[in-house]
């Protein structure tokens, strides 16, 4: 097996030193793989994704990306920072937090400009992404004037424009209408076939088989209780019930 | 408290612009050093917060409004320099987009609300809070008192800037070119609502948020106080210093006294507050207290203080404050000598930081 | 940490029953005027909507919209100083009329423009200046006696009225100029202009973010207020309760907003931000900018010269 792109071992993290969010989590993602994180609300999916994006740093445990350990001090280093940020992209769960620029165009251009791409190339890339995501009529508006779903599209555009190798999606289909959800699943498919490594948090078990090769299931105690290929995992109804991912009356169990 | 364009002479604005430029420059430097890029959103948040707080105009009896600024809170959480930036930005947005406060008057407004207010508030807070634990109630009431003092200092400065205009800038026939009110009118008009209402609102907002943070988000409290002990248990060994309390009382006195000196003078009845028909100006509530100060200063230090022109009042106010400062200094020196143990206690203070290292996200043990 | 599982507990019986309203008299009670909190909030929403619509105005093909925002900003500052230096009432009034002409040339609705400007003037200037027209504050030749005091007629004085007139026209003209700038310049361009006239990058970045937070905070306050209103009987509430509410909400507001600000920063970091934000914008000066600069400078000088002759 090739060397994993992302590898963490025994991560522990608590917010404000009091509220545990990760309690001994290990994970390894191979290049080109798509991994889904599953678990009930508050089990720590978003927290893990933030660790994987080098935004928060575990209280204990190690996180390696592209074979190098990611540490707060190391990210202060210009070279390492640019390398890491350019190769890993993160679509936040809360798109309100993710769109902060005065206009949509500036928002989408932000990442490329930060990483040192020149204005002309950036502008071209922005135009490409804008037409790909069909948000042409939004580019001159202010992000805070957009609807939830439109914001999500802008957020996705602002990450895709940087063309990262690894994409982290936190509940990408939430807040989208059914048509846009399908469009997004389609997009994820394309990205997968293009060889991107994808880690996504999701609650949507129905679309999972098309989306992910492998699933990681969190318990409400913030630990990983299962790590298996998607098909295998979705068949394990007992497990899904135990971690409160499904309800006795859920559609999934009737099949 | 926002001065619009047209009330101040361009000369006044120019003076304040020139003096604000180095202050802004210094605050940018300080903030870059202390606050770091990580707190840029927090600063922006402070600015937005201050903006929203300033929108909550509290109605006051005479038909105008007074408002809190939120600068004291930002000063306590992120330091007075950071507060300077945040409030300046709130004021700039208000001036440019909502016509609230002038563009030329912006440096003046910034001086009052973004420099004077946070620094006075923070100074009083630090004096009163001493080395109390970050989660102690003493921090909260110190902050409240600081906020109250800071807001009133800003209001007083505004009143003075208004009040000197008619004396400095008028046509040959005496028609004022800019603000027509003299010090004797502008100071009571500004100070009453701020002493009675807006100051309390500023204090309440500051105390409210601080209490909330003490319960909900201690790391934010530690941004600007990384070496301060967290719980009362950690600082239990030290009593409240009477020196500090004395100094603070004097400080507050010094802040209030110019008000007492100025309010009942001038057009309101020259030197003899007795023949004033204050009720006519809806001022009947305060002057009883102010009268005492007038009497005290009038009799004790500067009998009759001159011919009643506003400048004389200012001069006497400054002399009065200087006198207080001298007395306070002497008192502090005396108490230091008597107690003798202060220096040793301060060392323990510094040491208490050692067992609580500054927190950064991601340190500490899992819960 | 314990996490409650939503499905394990049955819903309380009262929740499943139909209820009229908790207070059956709710809809008969008299309507109360909103408290000042309500007024401030509706004012805030109004201001918010206005700020939002100004981007539409800024997109129209008017005179000022065509100018480079840097030129606009600098000439605005120059004109503000000119207006502040004028001492003659007719000249100030003339300058005010010019701002109206500029508004019309910039495809602004003149009535909207006048309303927008005069909205702010009565609040501060009107109330503050009014007493100064009376002889008790500005002594002088009484033109309209209102009462007598110690045998002297008291009332509006010529000097008082003149000085009030000076202030009000000066304030109106100044605000008009600022409103002209902000209505005809998209927010982003204005920020970039601030940057190019030497405002430090960090300030500009914070201004941009603060503006964004503002909308969010106002929305949050609005939501919190609506939630509270929905929970209290009779709506409104008195001023004292309103004040308590403000103090209590401040903490929660700050907490929510702080969490958001952390996330925003993370989002910026995630895309390579290291403390120095770059922008896509580039400026180019055109002929109209040069023409405008010359006109504005000539106008300012003419006004000042005329003022030396007329004022005093
Ligand atoms: N800023 C914060 N401060 C304190 N606690 C937090 C904070 N953010 C998250 N937590 C806590 O950490 C735990 C994990 O949160 P996280 O956001 O990772 O959950 P999640 O799996 O993404 O949930 P969801 O499906 O609802 O998005 C939760 O118990 C949450 O209460
Ligand atoms: Mg989440």
Taking only the tens place, the pLDDT of each residue in B181-212 is 777 777 887 888 888 888 888 898 888 888 88
Whether the CB-CB separation of C175 and B104 falls below 8 Å is answered with no
List the single residue in A106, A114, A144 with the smallest CB-CB distance to C271.
Answer: A114
Measured in angstroms, how far is the CA atom of residue B337 from the centroid of ligand 2?
A: 60
Sign of the four-CA dihedral C78, C79, C80, C82 = positive
| ipTM above 0.85 for this complex | yes
Nearest CA of chain B to the CA of C25: how many Å? 31
Give me chain B's average pLDDT, please.
Answer: 68
Q: For ligand 1, is residue A50 a contact (CB within 6 Å)?
A: no
Name the closest-CA residue to atom 7, ligand 1: A15
Give me chain C's average pLDDT, please.
Answer: 71
Residue A16 in contact with partner chain B when CB distance is under 8 A: yes
Per-residue model confidence as pLDDT tens digits over B173-188: 667 777 777 777 778 8
List the single residue in C1, C52, C279 with the smallest CB-CB distance to A145.
Answer: C52
Domain-located, residue A122: yes
Per-residue pLDDT band at C114 (split at 50, 70, 90): confident
pLDDT, mean of residues A96-119: 84
Closest-approach residue (CA) in chain B for C187:
B97
Domain B10-338 -> CATH class = mainly alpha
Dist. CA B257–CA B292, nearest whole Å: 10
**Lowest-confidence region among B98-112, B340-354, C204-218:** B340-354
Per-residue pLDDT band at A247 (split at 50, 70, 90): confident
pLDDT, mean of residues B146-154: 93
Residues of A in contact with B366 (CB under 8 A): 12-14, 20, 23, 59-60
Domain-located, residue A236: yes
Residue ranges in C110-199 assigned as alpha helix (H): 110-118, 120-121, 127-129, 158-184, 187-196
Per-residue pLDDT band at C309 (split at 50, 70, 90): confident
Name the closest-CA residue to atom 2, ligand 1: A15
Interface with chain B: mutation pick from A12, A14, A16, highest number of B CBs within 10 Å? A16
Q: At what angle do helices B242-262 and B117-129 cross, to 10 degrees?
A: 150
Q: For ligand 1, is residue A41 a contact (CB within 6 Å)?
A: yes
Selection from B198-202, B262-266, C149-153 with the highest mean pLDDT: B198-202
- Give residue A166's pLDDT: 94
Report the percentage of chain B scoring pLDDT > 90.
12
Q: Is the pLDDT of residue C5 over 50?
A: no
- Give residue C159's pLDDT: 73
**Residues in CB range of A133: below 8 A, 6 or more apart:** A153, A156, A157, A160
pLDDT, mean of residues B115-122: 94
Residues of B in contact with C257 (CB under 8 A): 45, 48-49
Dist. CA B21–CA B38, nearest whole Å: 25
- Give residue A28's pLDDT: 93
Per-residue pLDDT band at A154 (split at 50, 70, 90): very high
- Give residue A200's pLDDT: 93
Domain boundaries, chain B: 10-338
Dist. CA C103–CA C177, nearest whole Å: 9
**Residues in CB range of C170: below 8 A, 6 or more apart:** B5, B6, C83, C84, C86, C92
Domain-located, residue A1: no
Whether the CB-CB separation of B121 and B101 falls below 8 Å is answered with no
Residues of C in contact with A122 (CB under 8 A): 280
In chain C, residues 2-31 whose CB comes closer than 8 Å to chain A: 3, 5, 7
Name the closest-CA residue to atom 24, ligand 1: A41
List the single residue in C117, C258, C274 with the smallest CB-CB distance to B37.
Answer: C274
The residues with which A211 forms a beta bridge, in sequence order, are none
Dist. CA B262–CA B188, nearest whole Å: 8
- Give residue B233's pLDDT: 57
For the domain that residue A157 is a member of, what is the CATH number? 3.40.50.300
- Give residue C249's pLDDT: 61
Number of separate domains in chain A:
1
Residue contact C212–A53, C-beta within 8 A: no
pLDDT, mean of residues A222-232: 90
- Give residue B245's pLDDT: 57
- Give residue C86's pLDDT: 85
Residue B303 in contact with partner chain A when CB distance is under 8 A: no
Which element (helix H / strand E) includes C79? helix C69-85
**Lowest-confidence region among B256-270, C170-184, C244-258, C281-295:** B256-270
Q: For ligand 1, is residue A39 a contact (CB within 6 Å)?
A: yes
Domain-located, residue A21: yes
Per-residue model confidence as pLDDT tens digits over C89-108: 889 999 999 999 999 998 88
């Amino acid at each position: 097996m090739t060397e994993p792109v992302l590898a963490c071992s025994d991560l522990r993290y608590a917010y404000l030193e009091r509220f545990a969010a990760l309690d001994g989590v290990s994970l390894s993602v191979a290049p080109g793989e798509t991994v889904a994180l599953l678990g009930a609300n508050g089990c720590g999916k978003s927290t893990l994704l933030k660790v994987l994006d080098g935004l928060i740093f575990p209280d204990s445990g190690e996180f390696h990306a592209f074979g190098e350990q990611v540490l707060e001090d190391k990210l202060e280093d210009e070279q390492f920072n640019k390398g890491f940020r350019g190769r890993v992209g993160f679509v936040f769960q809360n798109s309100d937090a993710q769109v902060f620029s005065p206009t949509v165009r500036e928002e989408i251009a932000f990442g490329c400009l930060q990483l040192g791409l020149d204005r002309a190339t950036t502008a071209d890339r922005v135009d490409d992404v804008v037409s790909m995501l069909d948000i042409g009529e939004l580019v001159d508006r202010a992000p805070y004037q957009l609807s939830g779903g439109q914001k999500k599209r802008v957020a996705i555009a602002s990450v895709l424009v940087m063309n990262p190798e690894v994409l982290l999606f936190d509940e990408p289909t939430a807040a989208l209408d059914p048509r846009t959800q399908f469009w997004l699943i389609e997009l994820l498919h394309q990205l997968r076939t293009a060889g991107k490594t994808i880690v996504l948090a999701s609650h949507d078990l129905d679309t999972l088989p098309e989306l992910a090769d492998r699933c990681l299931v969190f318990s409400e105690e913030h630990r990983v209780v299962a790590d298996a290929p998607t098909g295998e995992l979705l068949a394990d109804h007992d497990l899904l019930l135990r971690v409160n991912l499904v309800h006795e009356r859920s559609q999934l169990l009737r099949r | 408290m926002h001065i619009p364009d047209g009330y101040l002479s361009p000369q006044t604005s120019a003076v304040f612009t020139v003096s604000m430029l180095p202050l802004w420059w210094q605050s940018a430097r300080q903030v870059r050093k202390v606050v770091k890029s990580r707190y840029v959103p927090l600063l922006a948040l402070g600015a937005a917060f201050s903006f929203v707080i300033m929108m909550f105009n509290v109605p006051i009896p005479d038909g105008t409004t007074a408002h809190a600024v939120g600068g004291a809170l930002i000063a306590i959480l992120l330091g007075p320099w950071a507060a300077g930036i945040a409030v300046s930005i709130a004021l700039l947005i208000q001036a440019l987009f909502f016509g609230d406060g002038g563009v030329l008057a912006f440096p003046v407004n910034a001086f009052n609300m973004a420099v004077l207010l946070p620094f006075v508030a923070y100074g009083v807070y630090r004096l009163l809070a001493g080395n109390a634990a970050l989660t102690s109630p003493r921090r909260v009431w110190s902050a409240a008192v600081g906020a109250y003092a800071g807001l009133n200092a800003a209001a007083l400065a505004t009143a003075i800037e208004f009040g000197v205009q008619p004396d400095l800038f008028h046509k040959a026939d005496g028609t004022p070119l800019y603000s027509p009110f003299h010090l004797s009118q502008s100071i009571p008009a500004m100070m009453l609502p701020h002493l009675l209402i807006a100051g309390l609102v500023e204090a309440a907002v500051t105390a409210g948020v601080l209490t909330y943070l003490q319960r909900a988000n201690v790391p934010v409290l530690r941004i600007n106080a990384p070496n301060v002990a967290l719980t009362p248990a950690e600082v239990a060994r030290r009593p409240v210093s009477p020196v500090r309390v004395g100094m603070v009382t004097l400080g507050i006195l010094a802040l209030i006294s110019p008000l007492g000196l100025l309010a009942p003078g001038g057009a309101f009845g020259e030197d003899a507050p007795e023949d004033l028909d204050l009720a006519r100006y809806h001022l009947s509530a305060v002057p009883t207290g102010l009268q005492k100060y007038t009497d005290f200063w009038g009799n004790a230090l500067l009998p009759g203080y001159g011919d009643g022109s506003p400048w004389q009042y200012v001069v006497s106010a400054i002399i009065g404050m200087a006198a207080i400062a001298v007395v306070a200094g002497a008192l502090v020196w005396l108490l230091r000598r008597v107690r003798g143990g202060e220096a040793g206690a301060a060392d323990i203070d510094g040491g208490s930081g050692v067992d609580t290292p500054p927190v950064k996200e991601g340190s500490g043990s899992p819960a | 940490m314990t996490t409650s599982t939503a499905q394990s507990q049955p819903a309380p019986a009262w929740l499943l029953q139909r209820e009229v309203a908790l207070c059956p008299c709710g809809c008969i009670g008299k309507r109360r005027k909103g408290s000042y909190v309500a007024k401030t909030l509706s004012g805030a929403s109004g201001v918010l909507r206005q700020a939002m619509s100004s981007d539409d105005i800024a997109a129209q093909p008017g005179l000022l919209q065509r100018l480079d925002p840097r030129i606009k900003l600098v000439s605005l500052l120059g004109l503000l100083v000119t207006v502040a230096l004028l001492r003659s009432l007719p000249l100030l009034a003339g300058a005010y009329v010019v701002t109206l002409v500029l508004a019309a040339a910039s495809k602004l609705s003149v009535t909207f423009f006048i309303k927008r400007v005069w909205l702010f003037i009565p609040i501060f200037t009107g109330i503050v200046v009014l007493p100064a027209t009376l002889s008790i504050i500005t002594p002088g030749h009484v033109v309209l006696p209102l009462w007598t005091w110690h045998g002297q007629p008291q009332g509006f004085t010529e000097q008082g009225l003149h000085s009030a007139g000076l202030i009000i026209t000066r304030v109106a003209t100044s605000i008009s100029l600022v409103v002209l700038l902000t209505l005809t310049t998209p927010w982003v361009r204005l920020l970039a202009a601030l940057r190019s006239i030497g405002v430090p990058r960090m300030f500009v970045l914070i201004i941009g973010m603060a503006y964004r937070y503002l909308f969010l905070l106002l929305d949050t306050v609005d939501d919190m207020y609506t939630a509270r209103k929905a929970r209290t009987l009779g709506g409104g509430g008195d001023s004292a309760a309103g004040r308590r509410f403000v103090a209590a909400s401040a903490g929660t507001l700050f907490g929510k907003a702080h969490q958001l600000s952390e996330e925003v920063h993370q989002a910026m970091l995630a895309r390579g931000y290291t403390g120095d934000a770059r922008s896509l914008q580039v400026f180019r000066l055109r002929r109209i900018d040069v023409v405008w600069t010359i006109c504005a400078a000539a106008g300012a000088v003419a006004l000042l010269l005329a003022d030396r002759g007329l004022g005093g």
